[in-house]
Amino acid sequence: MPDRGDVQRRTVATVARELIDRWERMFGLLQAFREREGHTNVPTRHEEDGEQLGDWLQRQRKLHKHGLLLGMRAQRLEALGLAWDPLAEQWERMFALLQAFREREGHANVPKRHEEDGEKLGSWLQKQRTRYKARGLSEAERKRRRASAMSDEEVKRLEALGVAWDPLAEQWERMFGLLQAFQEREGHANVPSAHVEDGEKLGSWLRNQRTRYKARGLSEAERKRRYGRASAMSDEEVERLEALGVA
């Protein structure tokens, strides 16, 4: 009769061999995916040759995060270009593109549909603003909106580039400052429609504010019908403009 300990050792060895073979098979599928697609960003639910490659790759990332992935395996995965934290690497890549945009254009006001080096930089920046706003929300509310809160480090780095979290509000404040300068110099706030102040179309902006004032009290549907995309003016904006003598 075989020794029970010997049987157990053979069983353990067999299981270990099967696990090794399994890992090698999945690694081979990852190599095939990379050769075909040019990257290792495998979607979570992706299947390769009938195997759950995306799920397997997520497990490798978790093992690596907790220090449980064998060093040699980690090296082989890294040699294929695997990102242990793909979201973080994506953020760094887009941030670098934003830096390049700012250095070239002199500002970080990226148009919504702007692409930089083939990447949708404008769309990415809009998502960062959404993440910034999510900082004050509860975890449950963030999950409901599918928005992750931005870290303090990310906030500091984006603000260092001059990113405006509410660009429309910052634009309004800038134009209001120019209107104040005009009023102090001219003694009134009756800005001609075509007037340009410090390179900005102040007359056109003031005309738009009057349109927004007229939109107050209207339903959203009626505002759109009469004034297109004009948003109604807030009480605070009305008070500040009236204080300058805007009629």
Q: How many domains does the chain have?
A: 3
d(CA 21, CA 56) in angstroms, rounded, equals: 14
Which residues make Cβ contacts (< 8 Å) with residue 33, sequence separation at least 6?
40, 42, 46, 48, 53
26, pLDDT greater than 70: yes
**pLDDT above 80 (res 10):** no
196 lies in the same domain as 237 = yes
Whole-Å CA distances, 195 to 36, 205, 208: 58, 10, 13
Last residue of a domain, one of 108, 141, 160: 160
pLDDT at 3 exceeding the cut of 70:
no
pLDDT of residue 123: 96
pLDDT tens, 58-104? 999 999 999 999 999 999 999 999 989 988 889 999 999 999 999 99
Amino acid identity at 30: L
> Do 152 and 173 belong together in one domain?
no
Q: Is the pLDDT of residue 12 over 80?
A: no
- Among 18-27, 30-39, 59-68, 81-90, whose mean pLDDT is lowest? 81-90
27: pLDDT confidence band, cut at 50, 70 and 90?
Answer: very high
Buried b (16+ CB within 10 A) or exposed e, 92-112: eebbebbeebbeeeeebbbee
pLDDT tier at 234 (50, 70, 90 boundaries)? Answer: confident
Q: 182: domain range? A: 167-243
pLDDT digits (tens, 9 = 90+) for 143-200: 777 777 889 999 999 999 999 999 888 889 889 999 999 999 999 999 999 999 999 9
Written as six digits, the tokens of 108 are 């970080």
Are 188 and 210 part of one and the same domain?
A: yes
Q: Check whether residue 37 and residue 94 sit in a common domain.
A: no
Quote the pTM value.
0.61
For residue 229, name the pLDDT band (cuts at 50, 70, 90): low
Distance of CA 7 to the CA centre of its chain: 56
> What's the confidence (pLDDT) of residue 6?
58
**End-of-domain residue from the set 45, 79, 113:** 79
User: What pLDDT was estimated at residue 170?
Assistant: 86
Maximum CA extent, the chain: 110
> 210-244: string of b/e by CB count within 10 Å (b at 16+)?
ebbbebeeeeeeebeeebeebeebeeeeeebbeee
Q: Are residues 41 and 15 in the same domain?
A: yes
Domain boundary, last residue among 160, 193, 226: 160
